[in-house]
Amino acid sequence: MNTQTFTLTGLTCPACKKITEKRIGSLPGVTHVEVTVSNGSAHVMSESLITNVQINEVLKDTPYFIEG
């Protein structure tokens, strides 16, 4: 099991948290996602490593994203 932390921009409210957790959680192999709005972090547990590109792809039609 892999645990990764990503820093997201654009998170401002509880709805942001819910949408982001649902989208990232839809990635293959993801078993748990915990988003913290106050510091813009997403803690992801998964069967294999998740990339910034994968997260940005599932968030592409939202204002949330990983820079870089």
- In sequence order, what are the beta bridge partners of 43? 5, 34
Average pLDDT of the segment spanning 30-52:
97
Domain span at residue 8?
Answer: 2-58
**For residue 52, is it within any domain?**
yes
Establish if 41 belongs to a structural domain. Answer: yes
Number of domains in the chain: 1
Nearest to 9 by CA among 24, 1, 20, 23: 20
Confidence of residue 58 (pLDDT cuts 50, 70, 90): very high
**What CATH number does the domain containing 12 carry?**
3.30.70.100
Grade residue 52 by pLDDT with cuts at 50, 70 and 90: very high
